[in-house]
Amino acid sequence: MKLCLCGTSMHIALRTVIFQKVVVIENVPVCSCETCDIQEVLPAIKAEVTDLIRSFGSEPERRTIYFDQTSELAHLLILACDKQQQGRPVQDIVRERVNELLDMMLLARSLNDAEWRKDLERRLRQISQYGNLSSLVS
Ligand SMILES: [Zn+2]
């Protein structure tokens, strides 16, 4: 659990971020402190959000992007926050997702789909990087 500079533990939530009034990015994980009334993008995904925004260029088209489709961490946070999953250990949810990704990897390999495989590898890397997801959502 991330602590704010004031010492209060921060809450994690999924928010909609609007970029230059035209690009809507849904499901961006942010942490917030009620005491200071501040919100910031989750440090673990800051680089990903920056890359995404950079990819829009200087004159972005009007569109909506679901951040959880590019970010595995956001995807896992949505799974972990899902009401139907409540009460289940986060580790179980993560393990199931890893198994699902490994199954897809087998499929991607047998289909010789290099792009899909690369995307799956990136997602698995993200999970191992932020394996301690339970500390984020508890
Ligand atoms: Zn604070």
Higher pLDDT, 112 or 8: 112
Which of 111, 132, 116, 136 lies closest to 42 in space, CA to CA?
136
How many whole angstroms separate alpha carbon 79 and alpha carbon 64? 21
Q: What's the pTM value of the predicted model, to 2 decimals?
A: 0.74
Distance 74 CA to ligand 1 centre (A): 23
Strand boundaries in 53-121, DSSP class E? 63-66
Q: Which residues pair with 30 in a beta bridge?
A: 13, 41
Q: Is the pLDDT of residue 132 over 80?
A: no
Q: Is the pLDDT of residue 5 over 60?
A: yes
What letters, b where the CB count within 10 A reaches 16 and e where it falls short, cover 64-91?
ebebbebbbbbbbbbbbeeeeeeeeebe
pLDDT digits (tens, 9 = 90+) for 93-122: 888 999 999 999 999 999 999 999 999 999
How many whole angstroms separate alpha carbon 33 and alpha carbon 25? 21
Q: Which residues pair with 17 in a beta bridge?
A: 25
Sign of CA dihedral 8, 14, 16, 17: positive
Helix or strand (DSSP H, E) at 13:
strand 11-19
Distance 41 CA to ligand 1 centre (A): 14
Higher pLDDT, 34 or 82: 34
Pairing state between β 63-66 and 11-19: unpaired
Distance 30 CA to ligand 1 centre (A): 14
pLDDT digits (tens, 9 = 90+) for 31-74: 889 999 988 888 878 888 999 999 988 889 999 999 999 899 88
How many whole angstroms separate alpha carbon 43 and alpha carbon 30? 9
Distance 43 CA to ligand 1 centre (A): 16
